[in-house]
Chain A
Amino acid sequence: MKTIGVNLWSLMPMTFNFQKPDYELYKAVADMGSEYIDFIEDYMPCHPHPDLAEIGSVKARVKEYGLKIGQIWFYTDILGGAYLTSKQHMVNQLQEFLYIAREMDARFMCIPLILNSPGKSMEEGYSPYVDMLTQVLPLAEKLDIPITIEYARPGLPQMALKMAKEVRSKYLTLTPDFEAWRIATEDIPLVHVESQSSVSGPEPIELFYEALPYSRNIHAKLLAFDEHGEEPHFPIAGLMNAINESDDDHHLCIEYEGWIPDINPQLDCVTETRKCVDLLKRYLI
């Protein structure tokens, strides 16, 4: 079964520019005809530790709008965190995030794949990264919350696949992000905030096909539409064909990002996100 969710990331201008309360974002997601809502940590009461009463309120509101929660995403570089604290500290952090995901009734707990840390290459980071994750898998299984690893940067699809194939657990899954397959265009070059420089790309579509058996969650990042409602910055037809041909269940988490200052901040994020929902529904068989 294929499901569609809208990530609150898509609607951040409602918060930034109009100071809308969070439940208005939930309502906007429901009004788009999405079955799922996907969370980023900025919209969760999770620091310094989860506020259980507040989480209860969030869940009640989400339910009120007839929505279910797909992923919970944490901005978490566990290798970098271990460099600054310890591996055990980061294992504890991941365990706490799993408990938060369970408390939110989410389907997945998602973190980004970041394999380089100060003085270390991606290759050197691979083993300690996998080691920390495997320590957490028993809890993920006990809570029945799969960890899903998001990757959007060059070179990472291969490493993510290697990890999924080696660990072979349904509680360690992948979240390929359309961003890794983005095409550089004159209007939106391949530049990212965290790297501040141009990157190579896009990755071969074969790597997307190969990842799907391990991918329950997929980040459908979308940036800008043409006059026909198509998204020319990604090989949408190819990516959606791969999803349609897959026999596995996949959750498509929409990340509309055209609202950021460098793209189209003047456009209405609700209208543009609705176009994302329409586009995915149009392509999904």
Chain B
Amino acid sequence: MPAGQRYWVEEGILGNQITNVDTNNDGKMDHYCFAIINKFLHAKHPLGWIRNVTLKIDGQTIRNDKAYFVLRGQWISLKHMPTVTDIWWNLVEKAEIYVEKEDGLEQGRHAVECNLELSLHENTRTVDVKDAWQRLDMNISSEMEVF
């Protein structure tokens, strides 16, 4: 049980770059994405350990069925992430968050805010699918540039 009140090392969790992506190769951008790195003190958990993700871009909340957590090529909507019990996110492993957006995000700087609700259930092989444990709010943000 670590001392203190923070469960993560904040520096470097979010990068500073957003990339527009043409995921279906039809010549038009349809998503944008940015990286997120696992820097939790006890790092290895199934994705469902993160009980909820709220994502805001430039102050606007993104619908959780229009954004995806992509880990080792596996796309999981933020809406369904709490159901994932057997895909582990490893220590300092990079994942990406993809957001659906026709033509991608406009060039320039954008404010990215993520709120992750972490379960205080202490078992890295089981997920609190009953939502019986308290959650720890993790708020992280970054100014990102579209490239």
Chain A contact residues, CB within 8 Å of chain B: 12-13, 15-17, 19, 40-43, 47-48, 74-78, 80-81, 83-85, 89, 93, 112, 114, 118-119, 152-153, 179, 182, 188, 191-196, 223, 257, 260-263, 265
Contact = CB atoms under 8 A, between A and B. Distances in A.
A153 B90 CA distance: 27
Given A19-B92, A193-B41, A260-B41, A84 B5 contact: no
Contacts of A195: 1
A262 B123 contact: no
Contact of B2 (A16, A257, A265): A257
B63 interface: no
Given A84-B129, A118-B132, A260-B41, A191 B124 contact: no
Given A47-B124, A191-B5, 6 more contacts: A16-B9, A75-B123, A84-B130, A196-B134, A257-B3, A261-B8
Interface string B101-122: 0000000000000000000111
Contact of B9 (A153, A257, A261): A261
B92 A193 contact: no
Given A78-B123, A84-B127, A192 B44 contact: no
Given A15-B92, A118-B132, A261-B9, A80 B2 contact: no
26 contacts: A16-B9, A17-B12, A42-B42, A47-B88, A75-B42, A75-B124, A77-B121, A77-B122, A77-B123, A78-B123, A81-B126, A84-B126, A85-B126, A118-B130, A191-B4, A191-B5, A193-B3, A193-B6, A195-B1, A196-B120, A257-B3, A260-B2, A261-B4, A261-B8, A262-B5, A265-B9
A76 B133 contact: no
Given A193-B5, A223-B3, A114 B126 contact: no
Contacts of A179: 1, 3
Contacts of A152: 1
Contacts of A89: 126
B11 interface: yes
A201 to B, nearest CB: 12
B2 to A, nearest CB: 5
Nearest to A195: B1
A209 to B, nearest CB: 23
B124 A260 contact: no
Contacts of A13: 9
A121 B1 CA distance: 19
Contact of A81 (B86, B123, B134): B123
A1 to B, nearest CB: 29
Contacts of A192: 1-4
Given A17-B9, A118-B133, A261-B10, A191 B3 contact: yes
A74 to B, nearest CB: 7
